[in-house]
Structure 1
Amino acid sequence: MIVFRRALFLVYALSLFQLSCNGKKETYIALPKNIHNVFLSTKSIPDSNFLGSESCKECHKEQFEKWTDSHHDKAMQKADRETVLAGFKGEAFKSQGITSRFYEKDGDFFVNTEGPNGNYHDYKIVYTFGIAPLQQYIVQFPDGRYQCLRTAWDTENRRWFDLYPDFKVIHSEWLHWSRGGLNWNNMCADCHSTNIRKNYNEHKRAYNTKFAIINVSCEACHGPGKKHVNEVRSLGSAYVSHNGETMWMSSETTPKGLVDECARCHMRREQISEGYNFTGTMLDHYFPQLLEYPIYHPDGQILDEDYVYGSFIQSKMYQNNVSCNNCHDSHSLKLKFEGNKLCLQCHVPEKYDTALHHFHETGNQGAKCIGCHMPGKIYMGNDFRRDHSFRVPRPDLSIAYNTPNACTQCHTDKDDQWAWEVFKRQFGKPQIHFSELLAPGVMGEPGADIALTSLVNDSTQPEIARASAVKALSNYTIQNGINAFIALLNDESPLVRGATVDVLSEINSLEFMDYILPRLKDSKRAVRIKAFYALGTVPENQIPADYKKVYQKVKEEFFGYLKINADFPGGQARKAAFYQKKGDLDRAREAYLKALSIDGNNNTIRSNLANLYYHLGETGNAEKTFREVIKQEPEFGFTYYSLALLLAELKRTDEAILQMEQAHKLMPQNIRVIYNLGLLYQKKGRNKEAEKILVGGLELEPEHEELLYALAYHYIVQGQKQKAVKLTDKIIRLYPNRPQYQNMAEQAGAL
């Protein structure tokens, strides 16, 4: 008998790995001799330890002068006539049907615009945000909330503009300026001020956010200055600075260490610790966004905002110890040189600054290094940012995966095929780049697991590319099954270890406990927290005795992580998923509902809640929730699929078929949809349609086990001996160790 299979629908769900570990133990990287040394303090630093940038001026006058008026200096300021760059003279700006009017009254600045209830209100501007190429304005709300206006001031063209002019947002949505998407406390503050403590009260849904210094001061990068200044004053000329003792980011900082320090604010990331307190490394406080679509293009080029780090660490520059301050002045943030001279610090002019290399006339945009190797994109309406992966243009990948390339971004009258022909004629065959191995897997191409496995196991490749390949590989059944992932828990790269734990954490099984437990002692807090989450299915009383103490320590870190992310819908969803692992479905439901109260349009979370309702036996709530997702996102095929499975189990087969047909229409190549639609047709006696859909599925994946079994079963039931025998022979040939297929072959032969 063939039965419907129901899997919990999660964006990062795994359903392909069912292989046993065969009890095999792996050798792990050496753990610290004193494991307690990895458990860094999470205490915040008193504001009194931060003395302000003026205290640095006496000894560091040149650096102070460069920093003054920089983007860091002007990251955030109190709103007054000197800091506000916009007119506020009664200007009216209209976008997406909303008219905002800006005016000044009694020395204060105001905007009249749509508020969170859909009505117009007057709001006082309390802070400015940034100086160029745009300036944003911040409004204070009740409960300690500060919100950034969606309408900003273009400082170059001196005009108001909409940050997202083509994106319609209604007042009830999370992305409305008055709600979570433009909330200063959780989206902006950590990087625009010094010594931020978010201080979110989850129960009251209120903030008491504090900072030591309003802007990105000297001490935001170099650490609290009190001890440093006291030592200098007491020791005088005898003072010797040592990196990381009283001063961070000094001349002793290694190139990669410096990049990681800057990454704290210059990357898209998830916060891990309750606050940054200058202990440990970047991965003790944050975990970067990996190269996943649609944040990045399939080949790793920037698509959504990535804030530089994620692209830069892909580059050969980073691999060869080029750091941020090789190109940018550390204090003014300006480029050290103009034009190609910047790149020619390292690259030989005779080889690279010539038409024999770039094939463009001198002075042409194409003759500039950045023209070909740092194409960019406009974000936030007018902010042009360059891709820092410094890659060679690859028109062939553009043809295959619709990724951008610098050639056709300049030659807009040409297409990618033209660019590829010119490239081959001028440069020949391109050097192999990791993107050739990553892109097919990110796009889910059949057979791409071989290339992904090659990338994952090549330690010479950028670790972010390897970690991203791990995540992409989770969508494939690989030759060595789950053991290949278990081996990666021992990888030298913490990004790879973290990504691997993420993959394994979606398989709710006690089988992997012995392999994940050592990661509770990982040197990076981010990996430890991921390991604790992965062990959520393990009852606490089953944790081995030699891990109980460390388990409790990581438990504290994990709940600190949940606390700092409690004001994000994703943070509440993570909490819900954790409680699902623990079997505490009531707490999971509570967290999902909190997530939806923060962002009522997050249908990934709503879909997970619908599945949770199903597991709680609340089928009415499950159906209602699935239908709400369909109402909001009628083109999202997975919801029709999930609803169809629910209706099938409720014996409402005709309704299930309608929903599954819609899922197939939207996802015509999805094998799970094809398989289940075939079963539904069989159940209703619609045999020709069942055969047609299953045959079509096998045209897409000729060796798919379940499709072969379903169609063979169909032929046996219909008495079509020749077709049944042919299929059962094929199944046995492909899967010789399945006794049930031998029985099926006997049934086919007996027809």
Structure 2
Amino acid sequence: MKSTYTTVLILLVLFGLFSCKEKESKYVEASSETKNVFASTAQIPDDHFLGDQTCKECHADQFKDWQGSDHDKAMQEVSDSTILADFNNVKFTSQGVTSHFYKKGGDFYVNTEGPEGTYQDYKIVYTFGIKPLQQYIVQFPNGHYQCLRTAWDTVKGKWFDLYPDFKVVHSEWLHWSRGGLNWNTMCSDCHSTNVRKNYDYKTDSYDTKYAIINVNCEACHGPGKTHVEQAKLEGEDYTFSGDLKMTVGTDSQDLVDQCARCHMRREQVSEYFNFEGTMLDHYFPELINLNTYHPDGQILDEDYVYGSFVQSKMYHNGVTCINCHDSHSYKLKFEGNLLCAQCHVPDTYDTPAHHFHEKDTEGAQCINCHMTGKYYMGNDFRRDHSFRIPRPDLSIKYATPNACIQCHKDKDNEWAWENFKKQYGKPDYKHFSDLLAPGLLGHANGVNDLMELAKDSVYPDIARASAVSGLRNYFDADAVDNLIRFLDDDSPLVRAATLDVVSSMNSSDYVNDLLPLLNDEKRAVRVRAYFALGYLDEIQIPKHYKVVYEKVKKEFETQLEVTSDFVGGRVKKGDYYLNKGNLKAAIKCYESALEIDNINNMVRTNLANLYYRDGDFEKSEIAYKKIIALEPDYAPTYYSYGLLLAELNRINEAIEQLNLAIKKGPEHIRFYYNLSLLYDKVDNAKQAETIAVKGLKLDPNNESLLYVLAYIYNKGSQINKARNIVARLVQLFPNNVEYANFYKQLNLSN
């Protein structure tokens, strides 16, 4: 199986007490009263949502545009008119699984592989979506509803596999009968109106409810009860009083945020969406990372548009979704380049002098250069909404895509860059990706690039927050001090990202910087502040913050509860217990996360570390062996397993694992250092030297390898060789007293 994860190292948190006396003055300065920032968490009764037929009475034109749209057909009950697929005794086979679609009586069925790996008959109860695909939903026990992996292509009129190149075993989380295609948690919140997931962790059951099955008028505009009552009461004298959302007067960025709750990849913060507060009181968007985006911010995995759009100049200049898309039909307002010509003068931009392609060809279309796209879910082509200028020069540096060679498939980036320079010259502007890409990829100056990006408010907030998040990979003595400044940033995305990083470190010295964020205006920030303060006992919370601390505690517990059907939610709870020093409880949370996704090796790696910390070496070893069995080419697992064996004094076995680690991942310098030490431990000085030298060929100035090589030479009485190596260390690290003393001792050996 191809490796799809990055090993997450669990950072040991030091649970030290802080002195209230020493910090007293800062407590006084901090904002200590509970601000009025806590949006109501009340659930809206279903009968406050009156339905589209009521809206139609006064808004017939808008209803007509909405009818038949993707929102209208987001979810429907099964009937002959709603099912578009062929259920006339049709079979479809993909990845070794054959699904048989048929009718029985007036009902629709599929016979396919179920959660136990056996074939069963399943009744279709709902349709899901309309174009370019329609999915079908099956009811399972305990309130679970599952979306079939086989879907109907409504454009080509055929069955197809959503993931045709990806083999999924029935026991995996991604199997259609399990978490990856579970409607309750993955789909319902955005495909119906006034959804309450209602998950019960103890019984692994759902009691999901909604007011209206599809995305109707009130899913966007809010419950219509008050609006209709006022209109009827006041009649012709009625004046709109702001009792609805997403109206003509809504601020452009607020409007995008309101669309964003369903058009972004995100984590849930509140129990349910009730139109109170803002987007960040209910959800937090996934930042730019190497799993979801290319390192320059272009789409890689599904980001559902928002995370791309807020990177763009268009967003920061007041452009909204409805400038291009009709607000009710969601269709494009104009065809071709006329859409862009609303703002961009055609004589300047819609001309070969600008795009260097023959007019009215594919290459002359604005979107093909500035909105490249990808297919998701098998046949759904989605365009990147960051609206960027193609940059072949960045593609050369960071292996990122660009529109030029995506069309000119017979050419390479060097060709594209030479032509770019001829046509436009070298770019005279700095895009945020010039700083983000090298930082995320770990280039030599990466930490400085990320810090520069994070500090400069001229760049998009999501890029700055992503830079802060990326700084977690560059911890050093000044790391926390450099990060703390961003807790006061104007952007809630940046503040939240900072808390995510700081919470994984020993932040006891910065408790006074964290406490004021319990009063932050955004719930997504407040719950992170609570988590970052998790190592404190409640008795340690200053009295100034007692009230707000208790309020945010309830918000945090709600978030843990509402995300407890996700692997990430259970891991977050486990990490919270770790902060509290409750290792046993943390282990149980991680074990429960594996119950959801038994092949999640990121979780299993952390669990192996927890077992080790708990002294359960047998379980730790079993976990590492399981990871290796699932992903035999992932080098860091051999390394971690080898370190465990070394701690158990099984040195020869440890040496074997570290040799495998180097074989699988020869670029990892740390492997050479530890293996050299192990060879020294068994008195194999020759191999210890050989391994250290191999590592230094990759990184000639590596401090750890230079030191271990000097140690080996000194131990073997090769004083001259040792002296030469230590001389290099002194030259490279002139302020290191230990190296200076070592060098003096070697000189005295003569």
Same fold? TM cut 0.5:
yes
1:304-315 alignment, distance < 5 Å:
304-315=301-312
Alpha-carbon offset, residue 674 of structure 1 = 2.3
Q: 1:225 to 1:411 in 2, by over 3 A?
A: same
SS at match of 1:41: coil
Alpha-carbon offset, residue 327 of structure 1 = 0.4
Q: Matches of 1:280 and 1:749 in 2, distance apart?
A: 70
SS at match of 1:404: coil
Give structure 1 stretches of 5+ with no counterpart.
1-8
Instruction: Name the aligned partner's letter for residue 489 of structure 2.
Output: D
1:206-225 alignment, distance < 5 Å:
206-225=205-224
- Residue 743 of structure 2: aligned partner: 745
Whether 2:65 is the aligned partner of 1:66: answer yes
Instruction: Name the aligned partner's letter for residue 253 of structure 2.
Output: K
1:577-726 alignment, distance < 5 Å:
577-726=575-724
Tell me how many residue pairs correspond in the alignment. 737
1:180-329 alignment, distance < 5 Å:
180-243=179-242, 246-329=243-326
Q: Matches of 1:732 and 1:441 in 2, distance apart?
A: 29
Which shows bigger deviation, 717-726 or 292-301? 717-726
Q: Matches of 2:587 and 2:475 in 1, distance apart?
A: 31
CA deviation string 1:271-298 (max 9, x = no partner): 1111111011111111111110121011
Whether 2:337 is the aligned partner of 1:333: answer no
SS at match of 1:122: strand
Equivalent of residue 453 in structure 1, options 451, 454, 462: 451
- Residue 5 of structure 1: aligned partner: none
Which shows bigger deviation, 736-745 or 559-568? 736-745
Give structure 2 stretches of 5+ with no counterpart.
1-5
Q: Matches of 2:51 and 2:657 in 1, distance apart?
A: 62
- Residue 4 of structure 1: aligned partner: none
**Alignment RMSD:** 2.2
Identity %: 58
Q: 1:475 to 1:544 in 2, by over 3 A?
A: same
Q: Matches of 1:377 and 1:253 in 2, distance apart?
A: 31
Q: Matches of 1:447 and 1:668 in 2, distance apart?
A: 22
Equivalent of residue 559 in structure 1, options 557, 560, 563: 557
- Residue 142 of structure 1: aligned partner: 141
| TM-score, reference length from structure 2 | 0.95
1:93-172 alignment, distance < 5 Å:
93-172=92-171
- Residue 362 of structure 2: aligned partner: 365
Given that 2:435 and 2:450 are in contact with CA atoms closer than 8 Å, whether structure 1 keeps it comes out as yes
Given that 1:25 and 1:515 are in contact with CA atoms closer than 8 Å, whether structure 2 keeps it comes out as no
- Residue 42 of structure 1: aligned partner: 41
Given that 2:7 and 2:636 are in contact with CA atoms closer than 8 Å, whether structure 1 keeps it comes out as no
SS at match of 2:93: strand
Equivalent of residue 432 in structure 2, options 419, 434, 448: 434
- Residue 490 of structure 1: aligned partner: 488
Alpha-carbon offset, residue 262 of structure 1 = 0.4
Q: Matches of 1:33 and 1:738 in 2, distance apart?
A: 43
Q: Matches of 1:12 and 1:345 in 2, distance apart?
A: 50
CA deviation string 1:24-45 (max 9, x = no partner): 99999x9989734111222221
Which shows bigger deviation, 600-609 or 228-237? 228-237
Equivalent of residue 527 in structure 1, options 525, 528, 540: 525
Given that 2:369 and 2:403 are in contact with CA atoms closer than 8 Å, whether structure 1 keeps it comes out as yes
- Residue 80 of structure 2: aligned partner: 81
Q: 1:615 to 1:145 in 2, by over 3 A?
A: same
SS at match of 1:660: helix
Instruction: Name the aligned partner's letter for residue 514 of structure 1.
Output: N
SS at match of 1:210: coil
Q: Matches of 2:34 and 2:326 in 1, distance apart?
A: 39
Alpha-carbon offset, residue 450 of structure 1 = 1.8
CA deviation string 1:574-620 (max 9, x = no partner): 11111111111121111111111111111111111111111111111
Instruction: Name the aligned partner's letter for residue 254 of structure 2.
Output: G
Whether 2:413 is the aligned partner of 1:416: answer yes
Given that 1:112 and 1:123 are in contact with CA atoms closer than 8 Å, whether structure 2 keeps it comes out as yes
Q: 1:553 to 1:704 in 2, by over 3 A?
A: farther
Q: Matches of 2:634 and 2:542 in 1, distance apart?
A: 44
SS at match of 1:37: coil
Alpha-carbon offset, residue 641 of structure 1 = 1.3
Given that 1:635 and 1:666 are in contact with CA atoms closer than 8 Å, whether structure 2 keeps it comes out as yes
Instruction: Name the aligned partner's letter for residue 515 of structure 1.
Output: D
Given that 1:14 and 1:475 are in contact with CA atoms closer than 8 Å, whether structure 2 keeps it comes out as no
Q: Matches of 1:235 and 1:53 in 2, distance apart?
A: 22
Q: Matches of 2:432 and 2:605 in 1, distance apart?
A: 34
| TM-score, reference length from structure 1 | 0.95
- Residue 464 of structure 2: aligned partner: 466
Given that 1:27 and 1:490 are in contact with CA atoms closer than 8 Å, whether structure 2 keeps it comes out as no
Q: 1:38 to 1:349 in 2, by over 3 A?
A: same
Given that 1:31 and 1:522 are in contact with CA atoms closer than 8 Å, whether structure 2 keeps it comes out as no
Given that 2:31 and 2:516 are in contact with CA atoms closer than 8 Å, whether structure 1 keeps it comes out as no
Instruction: Name the aligned partner's letter for residue 224 of structure 1.
Output: P
Q: 1:693 to 1:471 in 2, by over 3 A?
A: farther
Alpha-carbon offset, residue 14 of structure 1 = 5.8
SS at match of 2:488: coil
Q: 1:700 to 1:241 in 2, by over 3 A?
A: farther
Given that 2:390 and 2:404 are in contact with CA atoms closer than 8 Å, whether structure 1 keeps it comes out as yes
Alpha-carbon offset, residue 478 of structure 1 = 6.2
1:7-18 alignment, distance < 5 Å:
11=8
Q: 1:144 to 1:129 in 2, by over 3 A?
A: same
Whether 2:402 is the aligned partner of 1:399: answer no
SS at match of 2:474: coil
Alpha-carbon offset, residue 736 of structure 1 = 4.3
Equivalent of residue 542 in structure 1, options 530, 540, 552: 540
Q: Matches of 1:39 and 1:621 in 2, distance apart?
A: 44
- Residue 174 of structure 1: aligned partner: 173
Alpha-carbon offset, residue 741 of structure 1 = 2.9
SS at match of 1:714: helix
Q: Matches of 1:705 and 1:519 in 2, distance apart?
A: 39
Which shows bigger deviation, 177-186 or 608-617? 608-617
Q: Matches of 1:707 and 1:656 in 2, distance apart?
A: 19
Alpha-carbon offset, residue 509 of structure 1 = 4.2
Given that 1:31 and 1:521 are in contact with CA atoms closer than 8 Å, whether structure 2 keeps it comes out as no
Alpha-carbon offset, residue 675 of structure 1 = 1.8
Alpha-carbon offset, residue 48 of structure 1 = 1.1
CA deviation string 1:119-142 (max 9, x = no partner): 111100000000100000000001
Q: Matches of 2:440 and 2:228 in 1, distance apart?
A: 50
Q: 1:478 to 1:654 in 2, by over 3 A?
A: closer
Q: Matches of 1:320 and 1:151 in 2, distance apart?
A: 41
Alpha-carbon offset, residue 688 of structure 1 = 2.7
Given that 1:399 and 1:417 are in contact with CA atoms closer than 8 Å, whether structure 2 keeps it comes out as yes
- Residue 376 of structure 1: aligned partner: 373
CA deviation string 1:507-538 (max 9, x = no partner): 13422222222211111111111111111222
Q: Matches of 1:235 and 1:664 in 2, distance apart?
A: 78
CA deviation string 1:618-667 (max 9, x = no partner): 11111111111111111122211111111101000111111112222222
Instruction: Name the aligned partner's letter for residue 631 of structure 1.
Output: A
